[in-house]
Amino acid sequence: MPGETDTLTAVLCVAFVVTQVLYALAFCVDIYLFRLPVDRVDMRNAEHLQPEDYPRIVLFYPVLRELEETMRTTFISLRQLRYPQHLFRVVSIPNADDTVTVAALRRLQQEFDFLEVMEIPKTSDSSWSAVWDQWEANPKAYWWHDGPRAGVKDLPPKKTRQLIYAFYTLAKEKLATEGDFLINYIDADSCPPEDHLIAAAIGMQRFDVLQASNIAGNLNDSLACSFHAFDHMAWDGRKYPHLTADGKQPFWVLGKGLFFKASDLVELGGFHPWITIEDPEVGLRFWKNGKRLGYIENPLIEEVPATFGRGITQRKRWVAGFFQSLDVPLKALGYTWLERVKAWMIFLPCLSYWINPIGLPVGIWALWRWADGSGPLPAWTVMLSMANITCYGLAMVLLYLSVWRRTALVLERKRDRLRYLVRCNPVFLMIWGLIWIAPLWIGWRMYRKDGGLVWERTEKIDANNKLVRRVRGGNEETA
């Protein structure tokens, strides 16, 4: 028995040392990211805009089997956009065979005169030749020229396919005759602020790509909503802005609320159709080709999944897309070894959740042994652990301060904001960190098995109807 006890103690000691070193490395990555400068769009420059400073903008709205009420809420928000009406278009892009959504959009056109509907045909349709011709002539569309799917036209049925068809169709139609324009796209539930397009006019004078932040409007609807919303608080609202970094750090975009020039994406080969989510890869491609990122602080309001199951479904797709984008694409884009390390640094803090199932219990064991004076650990490991705890405490204080400020964007009453912080207390967040193991594992398996090609949509339930009508819809009456 003493021998078995000694062996277990030795194993626990090794586990403690390894996990503490990994935690320290994760904090070092965070320190690196947070030390990067932030390039924000300065909205104070709005008063200096001249008529010639307003670019033409096309806002794509990809949807799949969405509730009519969810789409109506988004269109109420879009109706409030402040921008010269002749310079922007809202083009919904449902699949042609999604007849229920197409019918709903046709009805909504009677309420919202700015709404256009472009039905996306199957890839066997002759109109897809605009895409095939562009890819054939452009070596930067590397997935078309190399790899196991070179020349494959049967693109997977998901959001990226809709964006590809709509983008190249309009680019072919407009670039040669009317000149360049900006592309913006949002999700079915994304409700941008009224100055969203104004921010694009300001930001594109200095940057090549713009990304707006996001915030969940239904963050107090359930405990799952609170946790899902906290991911956006920690990432979109706090860490992501530092990826602008004066152009020195690889970045990815967030898949909604971004702007770029149509001519730039044509030159770079369009969207990659064989990655679960298009956002990381296209951002990495923009950066490698010298495009600068700017951050729009005023956020889009969105809804987060109301259950843990739906949240895991959403996050597993994110994880699969992250792994896919950081593999073959980095090699195809010519990233150097150091550039690959910097690109991976974006994902590593999320991957650090994998440490928790071992790190938390052995940490508790080490604390217990240290407290009763029987700890067999070397002094330096205890000091490293104390440093990690200090870094964690400081990080949480700064994060909670940021969250407190951002909740004011969607919660009027301080007691509601306090309720949200209480729900997302450090103990509950540790549990949430353990739950994150599920999407990390499933997403990694999807990446290994080349999964995620079909659009597995995140179900929207029009959770932000009242909020958006109040915050974004002015005096709109409830329909």
125-171: pLDDT as tens digits: 999 999 999 999 999 999 999 989 999 999 988 899 999 999 999 99
Q: Is 293 helix (H, G, I), strand (E, B) or coil?
A: strand
* pLDDT mean over 62-76: 92
Question: Which pLDDT score is estimated for 139?
Answer: 95
pLDDT in tens, 354-365: 888 777 777 777
Domain boundaries, the chain: 8-474
384 vs 276, residue with greater confidence: 276
For residue 232, pLDDT over 80 is answered with: yes
Dihedral, CA of residue 436, residue 223, residue 298 and residue 394, to nearest 10: -60
For residue 2, pLDDT over 70 is answered with: no
Question: Which pLDDT score is estimated for 5?
Answer: 58
Distance of alpha carbon 346 from alpha carbon 251, whole angstroms: 8
| Partners of 58 in beta bridges | 89, 183
pLDDT in tens, 364-410: 777 776 666 666 777 777 788 888 888 888 999 999 999 999 999 99
Residue type, 8: L
Judge contact between 446 and 320, C-beta under 8 A: yes
Q: How confident is the model at residue 6 (pLDDT cuts 50, 70, 90)?
A: low
Predicted TM-score (pTM) of the model is 0.91
Contacts of 278 (CB under 8 A, 6+ apart): 159, 160, 163, 255, 271, 272, 321
Contacts of 188 (CB under 8 A, 6+ apart): 61, 62, 63, 66, 70, 71, 74, 460
Contacts of 45 (CB under 8 A, 6+ apart): 202, 205
Distance of alpha carbon 310 from alpha carbon 24, whole angstroms: 32
Question: Which pLDDT score is estimated for 184?
Answer: 96
**Mean pLDDT in the chain?**
89
pLDDT in tens, 278-333: 899 999 999 999 999 999 999 999 999 999 999 999 999 999 999 999 999 999 99
| Number of neighbours of residue 452 by Cβ within 10 angstroms | 24
Hey, what are 160's tokens? 């990226």
The CATH number of 8-474 is 3.90.550.10
CA 450 to chain centre: 21
